[in-house]
Chain A
Amino acid sequence: MKFRFQRKYFSIPYIIFLSLFVVIPIGLIIYYAFSDSTGMLSIEAARKFFSDTTKLDVILVSLFVAIQTTLICLLIGYPLAYFLASKKYNKNAVLIMLFIMPMWINFVLRTTATRDILFAINLTGGNSPYLATLIGMVYNYLPFVILPLYTTMLKLDHSQMEAAADLGANPAQVFIKSVIPQSVPGIISAITMTLVPVMSSYVISDALSEGNVTLIGNSIYINFANYQWNNGSFTAFVLLIVVLVSMFMTRNVNKQENARGGLW
């Protein structure tokens, strides 16, 4: 029989990729999360997770750091993206390049350098671990906030804004009623790009807080480094659920705002 190429064959590489690097690992996480060290099914890890305050503290600290990082990034990134996308500054892409350039440098390197700078101004993980961690996090995740906001801002409907101004809205009203609603998709992608990754990162917080701020990522690492695979997997599983919930929520918001299509 003659081999006939069908269009659906194009999907084969992607299916292989997805199953190898997404489905199977997640399956393994779930398997280890709900089994004990002998490989039997068990909810021991779950019981342990909910039975003492260690994990609750870890989650609270992670949420705190993640939310603060996201807020600060938005506060810095939003106006910046707005101005960079405006006609006056958007003549060439050099400026935006400058802001996302740190992304091209290995982040371990960047973090080590940040640590040295913070030492020089005597702001160390020893005396102010949260501040040091937040500075490192904001520095690392700012490009991920600026970029989606910038692309959304480029697509702002200027005629709507002009119409609002013509009909008597002052600049503040134009901003609140026209610019912000139009940029919601960008804000949403910015939040998804920072909130969860910050919670699960551990190199930055370890290096900059000198081990004084323990995020979920650190907790998972401690468990895996000491062959507590089941406990580590259950924590990873909880994080996975957090990711799913946050994705679900953002999808709903996006729907409501009848998605203008963010970058991601």
Chain B
Amino acid sequence: MKNKLLLMPVFLLAALSAFGCSSNDEVEYVLRVLNSADYIYEAETEEDDPDMMDQFVTYMEEEKGIKVSYVYDTFDTNETCYNELMTGKSSYDIVCVSDYMVQKMISSNLVQPLYEESIEEDERLEEIYGNVSQFLWDKFENIHPKDKNTNEYMSVSIDQYSVPYMWGTVGVMYNPSFYEDLDEEDVLEMFNSWEALYLEETNNSFSIKDSVRDVYAVSILHAYYESDILPLEEKLEKGEISEAEFNAKLNEIFNRCDDEAIAKVKEDMLSLKANSFGFEVDSGKTDMVEGKIGANLAWSGDATWAIYEAQSDYETELYFSVPDEGSNIWFDAFCIPNTCGNKDIAIDFLNFMSMPENAIQNMDYVGYTSAVAGDEVLDYVYELYDVRGEVGGDPLEEGEIYDISYFFEDRLTEYDISDAVLNAWRLDAEYVFVDEEEESEIPASVYARMLRSAFPRNEQLSHLVIMDDYGNRNEAVLDMWERVRTNALPLWAIIVFIIEAVVAAIVVAAFFIIKRTKKVLRLKRKGLKK
């Protein structure tokens, strides 16, 4: 006891001195970053490279001679981040949000442009621009924020305000062995369409995200497939419209949110909900890994992670598919809020994060696909997903063509763009990798499945569309969503309710009647005595 008491001041001193360190006078700037949870590289053991944020501090000190420290906070949904900036209760230098939220933040005037006139005024910006895939910049140039009052698109686009960090698609992650009654091939075929989530076969076996935008994406594509999308596809097949035109038209359908569309989506969502197992906030991927559910509406990055985990922990084969009708392609990007105290350091940070080696480390840790393209990234992709393991060499028989050159366009220096056509592992590959350190065996087919989730197929690009912020239709969409999420009390519950009410009424009535009769009796007895 005495010893402990003696130690107390020592601990206090230690704590105080630790506190003193962080508010060191020498630190020139404290960079405040707000990002999604688990969305950046962090060291797991002491032998690993230090956390990405610590690496940034070292980088700044060694390369720029500036002593910085950082505050790194996380949020759970984009809306939380928006609330955080909107209420102004805390100010940040960097936030990382999804494409639609960048739109919303620009229309709410919460973030500032990266540059005044052109990106050439700052060579760091040029560097960032050169590192991030041209494919993403092209998409970003076409995403315009909506004016807050008129709901019209503004002339600026989000590439002037943000730098892509990660990107991916929305699709279905599924576990063929969960559907025992069906052939594996039939299951694979079934999940190539959103229709799978509406079928009797999948009843009560899959969960959907408790997020209006992801479910809206599914429902609008499903609800308008036969009436609007199918004719377009026929035209595309006949060559009457180009892929770009098709994509633009699909985009228009995908972003419908007028009253008619909302009513249609609502009907569709209700049948989707009735067929589903339930809504999940973040239990979906672990439920999939543990085999609790058969399918899950998932983001590609989560699927990449889950496919590997399920294989290494449970030897379960999970698949990810982006259905043929089309799907949502999304991007997470860094932007600089108006509250930023030092834009110079903020841009240094963006530059640091877009360096290929850091991007690869983040991608490897987080499981999502980084926005950075380049020779090093292609090396990394080859190492994981290509039969040959490194760039070059003749295609092998075990592999199949998987074209992801769209992503590396204009970004390869040493390699040729034709190298970005992978000779990827087949889904039925039989080769097995042996990890001697962990004494585990990982079949190559895992990497085949991971690749299909990390990079969408080239042929699918025309079917991938971006979902805009709902703008001033937000409230109408949310009202619909709340309606969908709410259940009316089922009949049996109403009956239980009524029975309880009747019983309660009888008890209360009996109580009063007994009380009254007793009173009467007592009065009578008194009367008799008299």
Contacts and interface: CB of A to CB of B under 8 A. Distances in A.
Contacts of A225: 77, 79-80
A228 B474 CA distance: 10
Interface string A54-65: 100110110010
Contacts of A127: 204
Given A125-B278, A129-B278, A226-B212, A213 B77 contact: no
Most buried by A among B489, B493, B496: B489
Interface in B455-509: 474-475, 478-479, 481-483, 485-490, 493, 496-497, 500
A262 interface: no
A61 B487 CA distance: 8
A214 B281 contact: no
Interface in A60-89: 60-61, 64, 67-68, 71
Interface in A192-237: 206-207, 209-214, 218-219, 222-228
A119 interface: yes
Contacts of A54: 479, 482-483, 486
B153 to A, nearest CB: 22
Contacts of B483: 52, 54
A150 interface: no
Interface residues of A, number: 36
B487 A212 contact: yes
Interface string A126-147: 1101100000000000000000
Contacts of B281: 206, 211
B516 interface: no
B485 A227 contact: no
B82 interface: yes
Contact of B482 (A61, A126, A130, A219): A219
Interface string A141-157: 00000000000000000
B489 A60 contact: yes
Contacts of B500: 67, 71
Contacts of A222: 478, 481-482, 485
A57 B82 CA distance: 30
Contacts of B278: 125-126, 129, 209-212
A226 B478 contact: yes
A119 B489 contact: no
Contacts of A212: 278-279, 487
B83 interface: yes
A213 B478 contact: no
B362 interface: no
Contacts, number: 84
Contact of B485 (A124, A207, A211): A211
Contact of B486 (A57, A71, A130): A57
A223 B479 CA distance: 9
Interface in B425-441: none
Contacts of B80: 225
Interface string B63-95: 000000000000001011011001000000000
A59 to B, nearest CB: 10
Contacts of A126: 204, 276-278
A57 B276 CA distance: 21
B280 interface: yes
Given A222-B482, A228-B478, A57 B489 contact: yes
A127 B277 CA distance: 8
A209 B485 CA distance: 12
B interface, size bucket: 35 or more
Contacts of A60: 488-489
Contacts of B481: 222
Contacts of A61: 486-489
Contacts of B77: 225
Contact of B497 (A64, A124, A206): A64
A61 B86 CA distance: 33
Contact of B280 (A71, A124, A211, A213): A211
B475 A124 contact: no
A28 to B, nearest CB: 11
A100 B278 CA distance: 31
Nearest to A222: B482
Contact of B496 (A68, A124, A125, A218): A68
B98 to A, nearest CB: 14
B207 interface: yes
Contacts of A71: 500
A64 B79 contact: no
B475 A228 contact: yes
A24 to B, nearest CB: 15
Interface in B245-290: 276-281, 283
Nearest to B104: A227
A210 B486 contact: no
A223 B482 contact: yes
A149 B478 CA distance: 43
B283 A207 contact: yes
A57 B485 CA distance: 11
A209 B82 CA distance: 29
Nearest to B293: A126
Contacts of A124: 277
Contact of A227 (B83, B493, B496): B83
B474 to A, nearest CB: 8
Given A54-B486, A124-B277, A130-B490, 5 more contacts: A71-B500, A119-B292, A125-B277, A207-B283, A227-B82
23 contacts: A54-B479, A54-B482, A57-B486, A60-B489, A61-B488, A61-B489, A64-B489, A67-B497, A67-B500, A126-B204, A126-B277, A129-B278, A207-B283, A210-B279, A211-B281, A212-B278, A212-B279, A222-B482, A223-B478, A223-B482, A225-B77, A225-B79, A227-B79
